[in-house]
Amino acid sequence: MQDLIQVTGIILKQTPIGEYDRRICLLTKERGKISAFVRGSRKPGSRLSSATNPFSFGVFKLHVGKNAYNVQEADIQNYFEDLRMDYIGAYYGMYFVEISDYYTRENSDEKEMLRLLYQSLRALSVPSLSKELVRYIFEMKSIVINGEFPGLPVDWRLEASTEYAVQFIVNAPIEKLFTFTVSDSVLIELEQLSQHYRSKLWDREFKSLEIIKTLC
């Protein structure tokens, strides 16, 4: 039997291929961001049809072909069904996926981005957390993980609570990120900071963010 590997990851996106197949983009712990074909997944009754949806997290067994990976089995451990049922939350999730796709590469160590994406998708389903706060945390921490965080702007006057929140985002382990809430005034300053960092560091606009702005 030809080589099989096992990876743990989240599906970032899927694309129909031909009449019956799909190609998925996976962010994995072992191999960074990879693409893989899921043969026959569009056929009625395919056992792999549910394992091609964006946000799905699990363990995938892949056949390593000469030029491509092919999914042989998938054990999906979290479909994020609550998020799929939340129209606005789903767009936030799509936005996080777009950022993850933007930052990650194949055969790079993307464990931290994978953990951040997973925990952020979970946080979107927590009623006590505002989705805006989850978004600003995700944006800033993704910049930190990728070594681009420039620090607080030296000429800005911010509330002490805002400065504390930013330092917490920068330094806290990913599993501890979504354990706090902030006042409305701090949330506004975090929004301003996040906009500042995006305009300075990112070279594109993300479609899902534009949709979020029209919905919120």
Write the pLDDT tens digit of every residue in 45-75: 899 998 899 999 999 999 998 888 999 999 9
How large a percentage of the chain has pLDDT more than 70? 99
- Helix/strand/coil (H/E/C) assignment for every residue in 22-44: EEEEEEECCCEEEEEEECCCCCC
Q: Quick: pLDDT tens for 116-153.
A: 999 999 999 999 999 999 999 999 999 999 999 999 99
Q: Return the pLDDT at 50.
A: 83
Give this prediction's pTM. 0.95
In a 13 Å sphere around the CA of 186, the CA atoms on its Cβ side amount to: 15
CA distance 181 to 39: 44
CA distance 70 to 193: 42
CA distance 150 to 71: 40
Token pair 């043969």: residue:
39
Q: Quick: pLDDT tens for 83-109.
A: 988 999 999 999 999 999 999 999 899
Q: Return the pLDDT at 202.
A: 97
Q: Return the pLDDT at 2.
A: 60
Of 21, 23, 25, the residue nearest 41 (C-alpha): 21
Model confidence at 1: pLDDT above 70: no
3 CB neighbour count, 10 Å cutoff? 8
